[in-house]
Every structure is written in structure tokens, then in C-alpha cells.
Amino acid sequence: MSREEKVFLLHLILLDLAKFYKYEVTYRAQKAYDVALELDLGQFLRPLLVLIDSGSVTADVFHYNFEDGGYIGMEKIHGLPFRLSGRSRMFRDEALSVLLSPESSFEDIKV
């Protein structure tokens, strides 16, 4: 998986956490933490640890720990369209396994 795809995956997980902050928080936050750690994006580590340790959060807790959700402007970093097609197999496997609503994350998934 390329660096751009990893940043994109982190972006998608944060968006997914913001939309579905009551479900599977620990699992998704741990995945996001692992990606942020691998990318050396330290600004995400502490807030993600708060989510991992809490196990469940409210919208207020999420947005308090992530200014602007933490994902505002990330599309400028990865530069990838919100499409599943054209992504590596590893990216597709990770994204489809961790996102609660991949159909709301990718333009090219039809429900």
C-alpha cells in the first residue's frame, strides 16, 4: 500500500468514526492508530489512544479530541478520489474490513 493510500485509509477511518462514533470504536481507533503510527503522524496518536481507552464515546468526546474531526484537509495530502477502484488489493481489503459503511465512503460502491 502506498503512503497516499495509507493517508487515505486513515482519512476514511476518521470519517467513519465521526459518522458512527458509538459502534466498534476500539477496533477502528486501533486500526487508525496503527496507520498513524506507521506514517509517523504523531498528532493523531494521543487522540486515538483516548478513543481506544474509552471503548465508546459521544460525538462531543470525538470532536473534542479531534479538532474539525481530524480529517479536514486530509484529501489535499493523499490527493486520491473517493473511489475504491484503482486502489491496491491491500488497501481494498483493509478499507472493507474496518469501515462500518464503505458504501458511504466510496463513490463507486452501489448499494
Provide the residue ranges of all domains of the chain, joining segments of one domain with +. 3-102
- What global pTM score does this model have? 0.87
Read off the pLDDT band of 111 (50, 70, 90).
low
Model pLDDT, residue 43: 84
pLDDT tens digits along 56-110: 666 666 666 666 556 677 788 888 999 999 999 999 999 999 999 888 889 888 7
Joined grid coordinates for residue 69: 474531526
Cβ atoms of 70 and 64 closer than 8 Å = no
Model pLDDT, residue 90: 97
Cβ atoms of 49 and 73 closer than 8 Å = no
Neighbours of 6 (CB within 10 A): 19
Helix (H) or strand (E) holding 3: helix 3-19
Nearest to 72 by CA among 16, 15, 29, 19: 15
